[in-house]
Amino acid sequence: MLTDTYGRTATDLRVSLTDRCNLRCTYCMPEEGLDWLPKPDLLSDDEICRLIQIAVTRLGIRDVRFTGGEPLLRRGLVGIIERTAKLTPRPQIALTTNGIGLARLAGPLKAAGLDRVNVSLDTLRPDVFAELTRRDRHQDVLNGLAAAHQAGLRPVKINSVLMPGLNDDEAPDLLAWAIEHGYELRFIEQMPLDAQHGWQRSTMIDAERILASLRTRFALTPEPAAHRGTAPAERFVVDEGPHRVGVIGSVTRPFCRACDRTRLTADGQVRTCLFATGETDLRAALRSVGQDGSDEAIAHRWQQATRAKLPSPRIADVDYEQPKRPMSAIGG
Ligand code: SAM
Ligand code: SF4
């Protein structure tokens, strides 16, 4: 098992399949000038599948989520999901995507074994989308969402980040729209993980403001804490139900005590936390010959990395140090 010294066990693996992306969301990536990970450092499909197999069969991982960068840009994605779905015990398989290309891929991904999908959509207004993501692809995302639903992926969740002066007035509209279309909406507080270090606590739209904005149109009843388990989202019943909305207060309401995650970057580094400043190299082990490259040795390195996991990143502290690796290269 992947257990740390604070009694937490990681059972949820996030695998970043690429640091590249076809959008440039202002809270994530700069418009240009971000260096990509060097090609030789990127794990091959076989290397990724081997690490997932070690995680699932030896280390107690039960959920695998593919992310990035934009995971739909990875050519081998369908094959990687197919191979993940053949593992015993069969993990739950999820994908976090910006939705561009999902219109074409939702069916094949579902057939390969994908169970669930989270699509990022911050606005219902195409002009605001273009400003937020620096690309005019709003309709592609809407088409991707519809295709995911049509393909039978359940639940289809939407991740939204509210940005001051751009879409911070849209929370109720997004919720009404998500309910109408059968999608489950979650708002995520903007985190200090952007490559360009543009995050400011003073302008961030925090959980309290998100909830206040939603309450101008909806009655929200908190779900009992027991229902939350290890999920980062606080969930609220909307009006009389059955719909729910989630708020992930990563900055103002951190959920580190219940964290059950471990992360693998596209270049084969284990990160125990989104905000960790250190990483453990599994790529070197994977590519070494002899005992160091055995499944057992790799599993052991992963366990050691987990034991060193810190209790909480203290984002609110004045001396908070942002990780060198930006969100797009960590895998959100
Ligand atoms: N490209 C895919 C996407 O956008 O869904 C997957 C990777 S993206 C890094 C994963 C999630 O992180 C998205 O929902 C995105 O909105 C969110 N995200 C990115 N940067 C963020 C930030 N600085 N604060 C909060 N959420 C962020
Ligand atoms: Fe790309 Fe996702 Fe980052 Fe937007 S949030 S730039 S879609 S990786």
Find out whether the beta carbon of 193 lies less than 6 Å from any atom of ligand 1: yes
CA dist 65 to 17, 117, 288, Å?
10, 9, 26
- State residue 225's pLDDT score: 77
Counting from 1 in the atom list of ligand 2, the atom nearest the Cα of 328 is 8
Least confident of 94-108, 222-236, 273-287, 299-313: 222-236
pLDDT band at 56 (very low <50, low <70, confident <90, very high): very high
Question: In whole angstroms, what is the distance from residue 246 CA to residue 221 CA?
Answer: 11
CA of 45 relative to ligand 1 center, distance in Å: 23
Amino acid found at 280: T
Residue whose CA lies nearest to ligand 2 atom number 3:
28
Cα–ligand 2 centroid distance for 19 (angstroms): 9
Both structure tokens of 154? 């359940």
Q: Give the whole-angstrom CA distance, residue 18 versus residue 15.
A: 9
Residues 6+ apart with CB under 8 A from 15: 48, 51, 52, 64, 65, 66, 67, 263, 264, 331
pLDDT band at residue 325 under the 50/70/90 scheme = confident
Average pLDDT of span 165-169: 97
Ligand 1 nearest-atom number relative to CA 23: 1
Q: What are phi and psi of 116, to 5 degrees?
A: -140, 160
User: Is the distance from the beta carbon of residue 120 to the nearest atom of ligand 1 less than 6 Å?
Assistant: yes
Specify which residues 156 forms β-bridges with.
Answer: 117
Q: Residue 327 CA: which ligand 1 atom is closest?
A: 9
Residue 318 has pLDDT above 80, yes or no: no
pLDDT, position 217: 98
Q: What percent of the chain has pLDDT over 90?
A: 82
Which sign does the torsion angle of CA 130, 135, 139, 142 carry? negative
The count of other CB atoms within 10 Å of the CB of residue 192 is 21
pLDDT over 70 for what percent of the chain? 100
Let me know: does 21 contact 29? Beta carbons within 8 Å: yes
Judged against a pLDDT cut of 90, whether residue 106 lies above it is answered with: yes
Query: Which pLDDT band holds residue 78 (cuts at 50, 70, 90)?
Result: very high
In short, whether 133's Cβ falls inside 6 Å of ligand 1 is: no
Question: For residue 19, what pLDDT is reported?
Answer: 97
From the CA of 159, give the closest atom in ligand 1: 14
CB count within 10 Å of CB 193 equals: 22
**Residue carrying the six token digits 């290397």:** 47
Is the preceding omega at residue 89 within 30 degrees of 0, hence cis?
yes
The pairs formed by 121-127 with CB atoms below 8 angstroms and a separation of 24 or more are 121/145, 121/158, 121/159, 121/160, 121/174, 122/25, 122/160, 122/161, 122/162, 122/163, 122/167, 122/170, 123/166, 123/167, 123/170, 123/174, 124/170, 124/173, 124/174, 124/177, 125/167, 125/170
- Our mutation pick for probing the ligand 2 site, out of 18, 26, 29, counting the most ligand atoms within 8 A of Cβ, is 29
Ligand 1 pocket residue status of 161, Cβ below 6 Å: yes
CATH architecture of 2-158+258-330: Alpha-Beta Barrel (3.20)
Instruction: State pLDDT tens for residues 218-228.
Output: 999 999 877 77
For residue range 82-91, what is the model confidence (pLDDT) as tens digits?
A: 999 999 999 9
Q: How far is CA 298 from the centre of its chain?
A: 24
Could you tell me the distance, in angstroms and rounded to a whole number, from the CA of residue 224 to the centre of ligand 2?
A: 32
- pTM here? 0.97
Our answer on whether the CB atom of 64 is closer than 6 Å to any ligand 1 atom is no
| Pairing status of strand 269-271 against strand 261-264 | antiparallel
Distance, in Å, from the CA atom of 226 to the CA atom of 228, rounded to the nearest integer, reads 5
Is residue 180 within 8 A of residue 309, CB to CB? The reply is: no
Per-residue model confidence (pLDDT) at position 254: 87
Rounded (5°) CA angle 178-181-183? 55
* CA 76 and chain centroid, separation: 19
Residues 6 or more apart whose CB falls under 8 angstroms from that of 241 comprise: none
In 109-265, beta strands by DSSP E: 116-120, 156-160, 184-188, 220-222, 234-238, 244-248, 261-264
Q: Is the link from the previous residue into 326 a cis peptide, with omega within 30 of 0? A: no
